Each structure stands twice: as C-alpha cells, then as structure tokens.
Copies of this chain bind each other. A is one copy, B any other.
C-alpha cells in the first residue's frame, strides 16, 4: 500500500539492530536520541517515521533481541535430553553469550531498565514480563523432566526455575562488571552443583512419589 512516494533510504531491520546494540550497551534511559540516530545512521524524523517513538523503538529492539540473540540460549534447553542437562546447557550457553567480546556484556532484558519509577512504565513492564516468561520456560522444562521420569515427582520445579533464572540474572551483572569467561563458568558450575541435592531433597520428602 505504500509503494508510492520516496523510498526509505535505509534498511529498517539493520537500523533496529544498531538501535538494539545502543540500548544493550547504555540501557533505555542512558541511550539518547543522538546516540541512537548516530548509530543507526539516520535522522530523527526518519527514526520517528519508522519506529514511532523512543519507547516503541526500545520495545521493538527487545523483541528483536529475543528473536535473534536470546535464541541460542533458550533453544538449548528444549534440545537437552534431561532436565538436568537442560539447566546445564542453558547455563553454559549463557556463559558463552555473556563472555562474548563483540557484543555488550550481559543480557539486555535483565539490564535494560530496572527502575520502574524513572523509566517508562511500559518499558519496565515489558522487560518484567519477559523475565517472568524466562522463569516459566525453565519451570516448564523441569516439569517435562518430571513427566519424563528423569526427576522425582516431588521435585520443586518452581523453586529450581527461580534459582536458575536468578543465577542467570546475577551473571548479567557479573558480566557487566567485566568478569572473565572462567569466572562466569565458575558461577555456572556452582549452580549446576545444586541440581542433585535439589532432586535428592524431593526424593527424601516423597521417596515413592505422591
């Protein structure tokens, strides 16, 4: 419907990718329109014509992040044969992603906008919802482990999901502080070490299942 008129002089997806990088590095509040337009290589009116507002641009950048960057981490947990391997692969993929040198350290969804009272409410709500979805994804994978028999029926999937998601969020801060891959891997190993005791605790509570 819009094949008339002067065509857009830039690639919208590539511009969104550049904007995502800026938000990733500086956060929502810290990324100014000057930063964004400079990185995207366009002017302010082009940005507003293509994305509506800084807020909408951020929301699109987050969606782009989840569909491109986050994929590697989260698809690992579905492929893993057991729930334990899923948590293991999930954390190891996180270590690799967060220690990459050609992207900002840590997770955009974890670090993008943490202070609701100062950032836009929609921004914070969106990120919060995505963080909650991450917990849900982990919990569902653990529940699948219960269904498939590699976890005891009394295993507290919710508690374990909270624990592993929280470990990953903490790793974002550690990575942002410049931690080495070895340091991030040490954290992952610590969290993985908790898995067997958590499963054992469920067996002790209900050794033969409910």
A interface residues (Cβ-Cβ under 8 A, vs B): 25-27, 29-31, 110-111, 114-115, 117-119, 128, 131-132, 156, 158-160, 162-174, 176-179, 183, 186-187, 189-191, 193-194, 196-198, 201
Instruction: Give the shortest distance, in Å, between A181 (CB) and chain B (any CB).
Output: 12
Main SS class of interface, A: helix
Contact across chains for A128 and B26 when beta carbons are under 8 A apart: no
The interface residues of chain B lying within 8 Å CB-to-CB of A197 are 193-194, 196-197
Give the top 4 A-B pairs by smallest Cβ distance, nearest first.
A30-B118, A170-B170, A163-B190, A159-B186
Instruction: Give the shortest distance, in Å, between A149 (CB) and chain B (any CB).
Output: 22
Query: Closest B-chain residue to A188, C-beta based?
Result: B163
Instruction: Give the shortest distance, in Å, between A145 (CB) and chain B (any CB).
Output: 16
The interface residues of chain B lying within 8 Å CB-to-CB of A186 are 156, 158-159, 162-163
Query: Closest B-chain residue to A160, C-beta based?
Result: B190
Instruction: Give the shortest distance, in Å, between A114 (CB) and chain B (any CB).
Output: 5
The interface residues of chain B lying within 8 Å CB-to-CB of A158 are 186
Q: Which residue, of A27, A186, A191, A194, has the highest number of chain B Cβ atoms within 10 A?
A: A194
Of B160, B171, B172, B177, the contact of A128 (CB 8 Å cutoff): B177
Q: How many Å lie between the Cα of A163 and that of B95 in the bound state?
A: 13
The interface residues of chain B lying within 8 Å CB-to-CB of A31 are 118
Q: How many Å lie between the Cα of A183 and that of B118 in the bound state?
A: 25
The interface residues of chain B lying within 8 Å CB-to-CB of A164 are 190
Instruction: Give the shortest distance, in Å, between A44 (CB) and chain B (any CB).
Output: 19
Contact across chains for A115 and B159 when beta carbons are under 8 A apart: no
Q: How many Å lie between the Cα of A197 and that of B192 in the bound state?
A: 10
